[in-house]
Amino acid sequence: MKKETKSVYPPAESRVKVRYAETDQMGVAYYANYFVWFEVGRSQYCNDRGFSYRDMERESGLFLIVAEAHCRYKNPARYEDELIIRTTITELTRRTLRFNYVIERADGAAVATGETLHVLINKEGRPSSLPEKYLSLLRQEKAGG
User: Catalytic amino acids?
Assistant: 24
Interior/surface letters 82-102, b for 16+ CB within 10 angstroms, e for the rest: ebbbbbbbbbbeeeebbbbbb
Q: How far apart are the first and last CA of the chain?
A: 36
Distances (CA, A) of 13 to 2, 44, 51, 135: 25, 7, 16, 20
Selection from 111, 109, 84, 89 nearest residue 100 by Cα: 89
User: Could you tell me if 106 and 99 are in contact, meaning their C-beta atoms sit under 8 angstroms apart?
Assistant: no
